[in-house]
Amino acid sequence: QPVLAVVGRPNVGKSTLVNRILGRRAAVVEDVPGVTRDRVAYDATWNGRRFVVVDTGGWEPDARGLAARVAEQARAALDTADAVLFVVDTTVGATDADEAVARVLHRSGLPVVLAANKVDDSRGEADAATLWSLGLGEPYPVSSLHGRGSGDLLDAILEALPPAPRERFEEIDGPRRVALLGKPNVGKSSLLNRLAGTQRSLVHDVAGTTRDPVDELVTVGGETWKFVDTAGLRRRVREASGAEYYSSLRTAAALEAAEVAIVLLDASESLTEQDQRVITMVVEAGRALVLAFNKWDLLDEDRRLTLEREIVRDLGRVAWAPRVNVSAATGRAVDRLAPALRTSLESWGTRISTGRLNAWLGEVVAATPPPSRGGRLPRVLFATQAGVRPPRFVIFSTGFLEPAYRRFLERRLREDFGFAGTPIEISVRVRE
């Protein structure tokens, strides 16, 4: 999500204006402890557009003088911002400190929205116009106290923020879409037959064409699911040469259409390279995942113990995925698939508010700060969830964070928020 930094001198009505922007729709307004002693981040929504508001806290003038202090504060806020809201007190006019900030903002090249605050009635609007002198474009007269002008101001803010990125995955109405994946002979068609039973119905791509039916609606656990791209399964194609190549094409196509994948593994045999490749494809496609161990009816005690060890050794990277032990042949535990699918899909769409996320981040980073790199200690500033399906997080920091530290953060995120059954992505944005 884009970040709006709010800067301004003390007593210009900054906090009141921030509250105005957050409005009643603001989720939980929480402080950001630890990481950002001088900054607070909030979730805001205007006209359906979500963004993060970073309020730069108050400060006291020091020996170097107020103007220098203010400029420095503004500079720090710009590190993480996509746009800036600069608040000026219209009843006072542009002060030296305001001009110092204006110079910093100008140099930053960031889009700036200038709020001429404390314009409580139409008489103040002439005073607001004098703020053109700051060279930051049109001053927006507002009264953060009474709400006057705040709609126009918010519109201007949305204009200044970068355009909304499209969610990576578009929501389509109708049944949730499942890809049933796995190497040949693992039991995909058997499982589909078992699940479909008599309730099988084929979904034709375009009525009247000779194309193969592509998807199948199957009722599992009292809910209708769309198993995508099952044509190959139904026909029980047994490709001879190039089988792997074709099955990986099929896997990619099914993943493209699906929200969640069931990766079917053969519990009676050791995991293969091909199993790992299919799992990797699901994770890289950013889809929710359920692991199903099939042919459970063939397992004796020995094999069961060996399998446990193999899971620990070979599937550690997807330890977060729900596992279901089934037998397509006997029907064992196939009714556990639906709850597992629901769990994974729910995690896949989970959003954590910026407030909660940063309260969490503050604690984690305070307890285990990132290791220094090249003699410099990167400072973690704050984080925001950039998207869902799958959950994507952006962490702002003053330096590169080691992959090991990102993995640590991912592990802690999973421990504290769940995310069973979904890959999550963490990227780091470095602001010097």
Q: Is 324 in the site for ligand GDP (CB under 6 A)?
A: no
Contact between 230 and 215 (Cβ < 8 Å): yes
Task: Print the binding letters for residues 82-111 with ligand GDP: x by CB under 6 A, - otherwise.
Answer: ------------------------------
Instruction: Give the binding-site size for ligand GDP (rule: CB under 6 A).
Output: 17
Q: Is 230 in the site for ligand GDP (CB under 6 A)?
A: no
d(CA 68, CA 58): 14
Q: Is 126 in the site for ligand GDP (CB under 6 A)?
A: no
Q: Is 250 in the site for ligand GDP (CB under 6 A)?
A: no
Q: Which is nearer to ligand GDP, 125 or 297 (CB)?
A: 297
Q: Is 145 in the site for ligand GDP (CB under 6 A)?
A: no
Q: Which is nearer to ligand GDP, 334 or 409 (CB)?
A: 334
Is residue 296 annotated as involved in ligand binding?
yes
Contact between 321 and 344 (Cβ < 8 Å): yes
The helix/strand/coil state of 284 is: helix
Q: Which is nearer to ligand GDP, 303 or 412 (CB)?
A: 303
d(CA 395, CA 384): 7
CB of 355 to ligand GDP, least distance (A): 46
DSSP-assigned letters across all residues of 109-160: T--EEEEEE---STTHHHHHHGGGGGSSS-EEE--TTT-TTHHHHHHHHHHH
Is residue 31 annotated as involved in ligand binding?
no
d(CA 276, CA 269): 14
Q: Is 328 in the site for ligand GDP (CB under 6 A)?
A: yes
Chosen residue from 92, 329, 359, 426 binding ligand GDP by CB under 6 A? 329
Residue 373: DSSP 8-state: B
Q: Which is nearer to ligand GDP, 264 or 338 (CB)?
A: 264
Residues 6+ apart with CB under 8 A from 273: none
Contact between 289 and 344 (Cβ < 8 Å): yes
Q: Which is nearer to ligand GDP, 203 or 329 (CB)?
A: 329
Packing angle, helices 150-160 and 14-22, rounded to 10 = 80
Residues 6+ apart with CB under 8 A from 237: none
Chosen residue from 1, 294, 347, 422 binding ligand GDP by CB under 6 A? 294
Could you give the C-alpha distances from 23 to 1, 87, 119, 157, in angstroms and in order? 18, 17, 19, 15
Residues 6+ apart with CB under 8 A from 148: 119, 120, 121, 141, 142
Is residue 294 annotated as involved in ligand binding?
yes
Window contacting ligand GDP (CB under 6 A); options: 12-20, 130-138, 179-187, 416-424: 179-187
CB of 330 to ligand GDP, least distance (A): 7
Window contacting ligand GDP (CB under 6 A); options: 98-106, 155-163, 289-297, 418-426: 289-297
Residues 6+ apart with CB under 8 A from 420: 320, 321, 322, 343, 344, 347
- 3-8/83-89 β-pairing: parallel
CB nearest ligand GDP: which residue? 187
Task: Print the binding letters for residues 338-377 with ligand GDP: x by CB under 6 A, - otherwise.
Answer: ----------------------------------------
Q: Which is nearer to ligand GDP, 19 or 276 (CB)?
A: 276
Structure tokens at 299: 């397992």
Q: Which is nearer to ligand GDP, 143 or 189 (CB)?
A: 189
Q: Is 295 in the site for ligand GDP (CB under 6 A)?
A: yes
Residues that bind ligand GDP (CB under 6 A): 182, 184-190, 233, 236, 294-295, 297-298, 327-329
